[in-house]
Amino acid sequence: MEYVIFGTVNITNKGTSTFGSAGTTYKEKETNTYSGNKSEDRTKGSGYTTSSSSTTIEYDTSVDFRMFNDRGDNLYSESRHVFGTSMDSYKGGIEYMVKRTPFGSKYGKK
């Protein structure tokens, strides 16, 4: 007996998210000078600013998986949204469904 496996993966770009942070350090130095009866205060400072950001692209992925025998009988059919938002998250969805085909290790288990 021969089998035909048919599958599709639909990946939709949900958009991007950007996260960032910034910080500033300011260092100040104060100098007092006494000359006679006069007092003079001087302040010097310097600032340092750092920032960083990260942008991620999120995807919505669904997998459609079907298995037929050589007579055209549908042995297995399932569609599902997969867990994760990365471009290659479909791999986990395919592995999950293959295990639940009539020849998989988790066939009949829910």
In this structure, what DSSP letter does residue 76 have? E
Place of tokens 């639909």: 10
Angle at 11 between CA 67 and CA 106, to 5 degrees: 35
- Phi and psi torsions of 41, nearest 5°: -105, 135
| Domains of the chain by residue range | 3-99
pLDDT digits (tens, 9 = 90+) for 9-32: 999 998 888 888 888 887 777 777
Euclidean distance between CA atoms 54 and 50, whole angstroms: 14
pLDDT digits (tens, 9 = 90+) for 76-89: 899 998 888 888 88
pLDDT digits (tens, 9 = 90+) for 30-75: 777 776 677 777 777 777 788 888 888 888 999 998 999 889 899 8
Which residues lie closer than 8 Å to 46 by C-beta, 6 or more apart?
Answer: 26, 27
